[in-house]
Amino acid sequence: MGRLVVSNAVSFDVIKDVQTPSCRIDVIKAIYPSPVEMTFENESNLIIFQRPRRNSSGSFESFTKANDFFSIGQVLFIPAASPLRIRADGGPAETLRCSFSREKLSQITGYRDLVKPSTMLHTLNIRERWISESLLRLEKAIMESTERSLRFADALASALLMEISRYLDKRETVEGFQRGGLAPRTLKKIIEYLNENERVTVDDVCELSGYSRRHLGRAFKQATGATIYDAIEEVRFSRASKLLEKTDLRVREIATKVGFSDASSFSVAFQRISGETPSDHRARLRAPAGAVTPARNRYS
């Protein structure tokens, strides 16, 4: 299905592994060192659903510059023969993977390839509620492992592949990796500003770029596929994750540091992104090697 080249030790436990007429589906539990850097090499097309979401970024070796890493979400699609370099926080994680051969992908979708250079960025963070919910249903079906549930899993996996195909089609807005909407220099300045400053607001970014809210929102989404609000939230999550792991600050103190008015709204936003509460996230990242804390997700 795929091969991992990891910079240091990692342990894997295959919980379930089934072959259906359309694809191979497995569930694995792994414990990664922290931090971890690895290269994922795959011969088939992969849909991946990771729980809980970790603070991670990725770079496709064939499409991006050596130091260009982009945020990885809970759901991602990795095209066949597209090595992906990953940098991530460590700890335990559970991953559902659906593997489709090139022939099956073509039969199901009618396309030889789902991904073009212009949509490569969007494969790393697929934001579609139906897809996330369906992946949870898919995992439940293969764990039941009855003849009927496996038939259902096969049909659902094919439907997921079609939906991801539609999702990527909608996001083909720029040619190659030349990002439209914002000049590369302006986009780089905005990203650096988000990463270097606490409590950033949309108005702050408007002032930095010289754009109105409306123009900035449209141009930023055309350039990255995400809204400026999404980008600010991603940076808040990354900063909060590090504070939870590296400090003993209380949740309400971390909420204030990353720009939230209270601990409650911070916890809701954090769980929406990561699939776990701030306290669970801290416990998982600090768990000793070999200990696996139960992963929760927003649909449980």
What sign does the dihedral 250-57-73-158 (CA atoms) show?
Answer: negative
DSSP 288: P
Q: At residue 66, does pLDDT exceed 70?
A: no
pTM assigned to the model: 0.64
Compute the distance between CA of residue 279 and CA of residue 266 in angstroms, rounded to an integer. 12
pLDDT of residue 179: 45
pLDDT digits (tens, 9 = 90+) for 243-263: 998 899 999 999 888 888 888
Strand partners, 34: none
Q: Helix or strand or coil: residue 28?
A: strand
Token pair, residue 280, equals: 């669970």
pLDDT of residue 31: 83
pLDDT digits (tens, 9 = 90+) for 273-294: 777 889 988 887 777 644 444 4
**Per-residue buried b or exposed e for 16-34, using 16+ beta carbons within 10 Å of the residue's own CB:** eebebebbbbbbbebbbbe
